[in-house]
Amino acid sequence: MPVDGVELATPAQAGVLNPANSPAVIKTLQRAVNLTLDNQVDAIVTAPVHKGVINEAGIPFTGHTEMLAELFGTANPVMMLVAKGLRVALATTHLPLREVPDAITDELLECVITTLHHDLVDKFAIAAPRIVVTGINPHAGEGGHLGSEEIDTIIPVLERLRGAGMNLTGPVPADTAFIPAALEGTDAVLTMYHDQGLPVLKRTGFGHAVNVTLGLPIVRTSVDHGTALELAGSGRADCGSLQSAIDLAAELAIRRQHRPT
């Protein structure tokens, strides 16, 4: 198996952050993208990175997903995690909680749902995906008594997309969206923010879950965890999620190669 490395500015030390080596992280990702654009590879699998040390090097970086979207010219990528038959997508990703309501606009929500629906069909070969959409407020706003985002934004978008033929349920209260009865027959759950959906998924399959970026022209998967610096070089790190990410990337890439044109 060929290995294509990127030279570091200074020697790496396991578990020790060094902003001097941050540019190499960015160059590695850029090289992976170039390989896909040159049709030399069929998918990208990324390991976790430490966003803070990259920012300390003066490089604006919020995450793999956002950078890949920029490099591929994709306006609104969608983060979805997969574990044990459960798929959870996010309307917003790495935002402070106080910024989430303002970020969920008609345009954003319609784009996210359209991308999610498209890739469930295109990459996961689900002919008519059923998507459950959560509200943003407790009890999905309780008819406007606990917030108006559902009435003002989420419901109108869902009604419009149902009219276009999508099978959408919601907005449903997030605290009951993941009970077995609610998930029966569901292909994906769309939650409004990072910590609304991911704790449930990680409780279900942490260590073997896979992060899939939707909306890109290529297959990209990643692990479901962070850098775990305290485990670096110890021999105690669990590679289960990375193996799952590689397996799913291969599965999706093969499926795309054999899909009807």
Interacting residues of 174 by C-beta distance below 8 A, sequence separation 6+: 134, 135, 140, 191, 192, 196, 197
Q: Which two tokens stand for residue 199?
A: 């704790």
Q: Are 182 and 169 in contact (CB under 8 A)?
A: no
Is it the case that residue 63 has pLDDT exceeding 70?
Answer: yes
pLDDT over 70, % of the chain: 98
pLDDT band for position 72 (cuts 50, 70, 90):
confident
- CA 84 to chain CA centroid, Å, is 16
DSSP-assigned letter for residue 185: T
Q: What is the CA radius of gyration of the chain?
A: 19
Beta bridge partners of 181: none
223 closest CA partner among 47, 44, 64: 47
Is it the case that residue 261 has pLDDT exceeding 60?
Answer: no
pLDDT of 260 reads: 63
Is it the case that residue 73 has pLDDT exceeding 90?
Answer: no
Q: Which two tokens stand for residue 140?
A: 């999905």
Task: Classify residue 9: in a domain, yes or no.
Answer: no
What integer best gives the mean pLDDT of the chain? 91
Burial of 85 (0-12, 13-18, 19+ CB in 10 A): exposed
Task: Classify residue 208: in a domain, yes or no.
Answer: yes
Is it the case that residue 1 has pLDDT exceeding 70?
Answer: no
pTM above 0.85, yes or no: yes
Task: Classify residue 65: in a domain, yes or no.
Answer: no
Long-range contacts of 21-30 (CB under 8 A, 24+ apart): 22/53, 22/54, 22/56, 22/57, 22/59, 23/57, 23/59, 25/49, 25/54, 26/54, 26/59, 26/61, 26/67, 29/64, 29/67, 29/68, 29/71, 30/71
The side-by-side arrangement of strands in the sheet containing 219-222 is 43-46, 219-222, 210-214, 78-83, 86-90, 188-191, 130-134, 167-172
pLDDT of 70 reads: 86
pLDDT of 178 reads: 94
Q: Into how many domains does the chain fold?
A: 1
Weakest mean pLDDT among 18-32, 33-47, 55-69, 162-176: 55-69
Which backbone phi and psi does 124 adopt, to 5 degrees?
-105, 0
pLDDT band for position 153 (cuts 50, 70, 90):
very high
Q: What is the DSSP string of 133-144?
A: EE-SSGGGGGGG
Task: Classify residue 137: in a domain, yes or no.
Answer: yes
Task: Classify residue 46: in a domain, yes or no.
Answer: no
Task: Classify residue 160: in a domain, yes or no.
Answer: yes
Residues 146-155 have a mean pLDDT of: 96
Task: Classify residue 61: in a domain, yes or no.
Answer: no
CATH number of the domain that 156 lies in? 3.40.718.10
Q: Residue 171 sits in which domain range? A: 76-215
**60 prior amide bond cis, ω within 30:** no
Is it the case that residue 250 has pLDDT exceeding 70?
Answer: yes
